[in-house]
Amino acid sequence: MSIFAPFFEDKSIEDIYTMLEKIKQILEEVQSLTASTPEEAEALRIKYLSKKGEISALMDEFRTVPAEMKKEFGMRINELKNLATERINELKAAAAAQETVADDIDLTRTPYPIPLGTRHPLTIVKNEIVDIFSRLGFTLAEGPEVEDDWHVYSSMNFADDHPARDMQDTFFVEAHPDIILRSHTSSVQARVMEKQQPPIRVICPGRVYRNEAVSARAHCFFHQVEGLYIDKNVSFKDLKQVLLLFAQEMFGPDTQIRLRPSFFPFTEPSAEMDVSCTICGGKGCSMCKGSGWLEILGCGMVDPAVLEANGIDSSVYTGYAFGMGIERIANLKYQVKDLRMFSENDVRFLEEFTAAN
């Protein structure tokens, strides 16, 4: 017999047990409540704590409980109500905080911190050179690094006994004496000329290879940018003006240039171009060895023999060509004294060029 039996005058034992089970059930539900948004938390408050909620319904039933049991049932219902209020308030606060955090998230950021890399200094300089000549009307042209003798030498008017063909300067592919690693990007110019009739105005960047001892001032591979312009009535004056504009864009508007006579098999006349020293402003320093000038490129008018060898009528067209080492320009621009730094992948060195990106 139940211990409540003597007090159940107005309510049956079965109804009392039903109420106890309902309180227990709602208590378990409240303890396991979850909500991911403030709206879900508010829906739970309405379900359990509003005037028409489940706990309020228990209070209505509480009126029929015998007087002797009201204290016991009242304590249990109040405990349930307090627990439900506390739990729902916690869910509301957590959901609101989650929304605030979500609003602050930058969805464009990477999911975890990754240090961003930078462009290589040679790439930065190459892109700047190409950009300058692109604004002067030159288009980009590229070609293979593994080339044949014709495109590297013969089409460029190199004699059969020219020293550049010697093993000391050129890397040959074993068992294929006519296949070599290009020693200059003039081979790209040859490929453009044999496929396209003038007007031609191209800029040709790329890596080249020469059989030289590696030191602070030389390497067995390096990078060049060469330019070619062929059309009717092209003169040396046009070449000089283009190179002056390039030098002032690359090194500053006060930069001066000078052209000194030289010799290249593929140009005639030929010249080497110096710029006024960017370090001392032409006054003389250790960088320019006290001369006030720094050599940066070779140039000249395209030799008629080169035009004819590549299928262009030299009696109708003339042109000029120029070529420069990207490492040389980078050395002057960033004052890097050891050429090997560009190829040793020292992260400390590369990180110095973050701002130059």
- Give the pLDDT confidence of 302-317 residue by residue, as tens digits: 999 999 999 999 999 9
pTM of the model: 0.65
Residue spans of alpha helices (H) in the chain: 13-31, 38-49, 54-62, 67-103, 121-135, 149-152, 186-195, 236-251, 304-309, 326-334, 347-350
Residue of 34 and 324 predicted with greater confidence: 324
CB atoms within 10 A of CB 12: 9
| 39, 170, 206 from 343: Cα distances, Å | 60, 20, 15
Mean pLDDT of 285-301: 86
- Residues 195 and 311: their CA atoms lie apart, in Å, by 9
- Domain 121-353 CATH assignment equals 3.90.1150.10: no
Residue range 134-192, pLDDT digits in tens: 999 999 999 999 999 999 999 999 888 877 777 668 888 877 878 999 999 999 999 99
Q: What is the pLDDT of residue 325?
A: 93
Residue of 96 and 231 predicted with greater confidence: 231
Tokens encoding 310: 């590549």
**Does residue 2 register a pLDDT over 50?**
no
**Does residue 207 register a pLDDT over 60?**
yes
| Domain extents in the chain | 5-103, 121-353
How does strand 200-209 pair with strand 139-140?
A: parallel
pLDDT band for position 7 (cuts 50, 70, 90): very low
Average pLDDT, rounded, for the chain: 84
Largest CA distance in the chain: 130
Mean pLDDT of 95-111: 68
Percent of the chain surpassing pLDDT 70 = 88
Residue of 325 and 99 predicted with greater confidence: 325
